Chain A
Amino acid sequence: MDGVHDLGGMEGYGPVRAERDEPVFHHPWEGRVYALNTAMSARGVWNIDIGRFAIESLPPRVYTSSSYYELWLAKLEKLVLQYHLAEADELERGHADVPGPEPRFTAADVARVLARGSFVRGAEWGPRFAAGDRVRASNIHPRSHTRLPRYVRNHVGVVERVHDPNVFPDSMVRGDGPQPQWLYTVRFDGEELWGGDAEPDMAVSVNAFEPYLESA
């Protein structure tokens, strides 16, 4: 979706302010939100793409005025309700009326969620593009989730690397399953993206799934 989360190239956000010796979590509740999201994701009811879309599809004023972990809290509340793992009045009261179905995420499960998951899957056909090919990022504007950022759409770049097929986020969020797609690193020159307003001698690479690309 063409949402406020798709920030590449937007103006007006001011300087980048880095905090020295930043703590991992600024408040204990942030750690709880992070851990709850991690533990609940491990159930496999939703995946990372569905989680991202839950944040992207929040009302723009909520997205732009919330801190990072406030967004994660909103995502968790939304998904728990969407998948009927709890009811709204239970969240309101902070107590469960009835127990939920198995499984329970226990301390024994922690180790397996402390590495990033794998999204590499097999595909029964070969890649359409090869390193060195010129490709145009499609001019798509799906209402649902996509990982093709707006600032590269309709621009021409060069395939730098071909990666193994990965779970296709657009398909997962549509509810059509993983539908693995070949994945490419595509390099765009600054001038191609930003014209005369580009900084000198810069290039941006994105990772683009095969359905995002056309021959150029």
Chain B
Amino acid sequence: MYPADGPPDKALADRWTWDAFLDAARKCHKAGFPFGIGFGTTADSVDSAGAMFAAFGAALVDRKGSIAVDSDATRAVLDYAKRLAAVMPPDVFAWDDASNNKWLISGKGALIMNPPSAWAVAKRDNPKVAEQLWTFPAPRGPKGRYQPGLNYFWGIWKFSRNKAAAKSLLAFLSQRSSVERLVVASGGFDMPPFAGLRDLGIWSQVAPPKGTLRHYPPSGDQIVSVSGMPAPPAIGVQIYTQAIMTKMIAKFVQAGDSASKVVAWATSELEGLMRT
């Protein structure tokens, strides 16, 4: 599907859908090494849930700022999450950003949804696990293959006394050579935001195993999105911070609320987030 030394096999990659993911999750659960995707309230969980929601076409708030959570797509993703949660550890609703890494490195889990920081820590703490880790894209849903993304920004203070020098520094740091040095220093973890910079050699070179990060940079049909999109930023950041999506999943799966009740709760929360 995603070979260590070459581009993806399109035919196989097209069959890497969320349904295939669930099928694999069931088999790994039966074998005693379940998948582990957090449904907690920290960034990793919210990122994963956001990719899942986007793949099913479920948006909480649309581009214009109208509440759009009450949809068939939302009900579909909740139902999917319920089937997935049944074959994952019961703790996933309390996972924080370290839990999935610990789960994988302990050797108990078969898959997590995370950048390769878990692999980097495994290299240090449990090399036998690290040697068997491969990073590859998220599955494809009815509306596309969505990859969780979280961009960071550099800025210059308005009150800065040396804006020219600051701009010069930022321009230097944005050059390909500087970006490459930063990515190499992070062991391939850092991901440049621009597609033109995602062909650096580091990802094919780091090991073991060789090629473990070959398919880490988003490419092809992958769409990088931030959880909460396409809501306007002021609302989207609240959706993210308040972990509305993972709480919806937890209410549906763990608390046993009906989809209608979950949607009603989410609508109420979103109305609150829209206060000015």
Answer yes or no: are A and B bound together in one complex.
Answer: no
Binding site for B on A (CB under 8 A): none
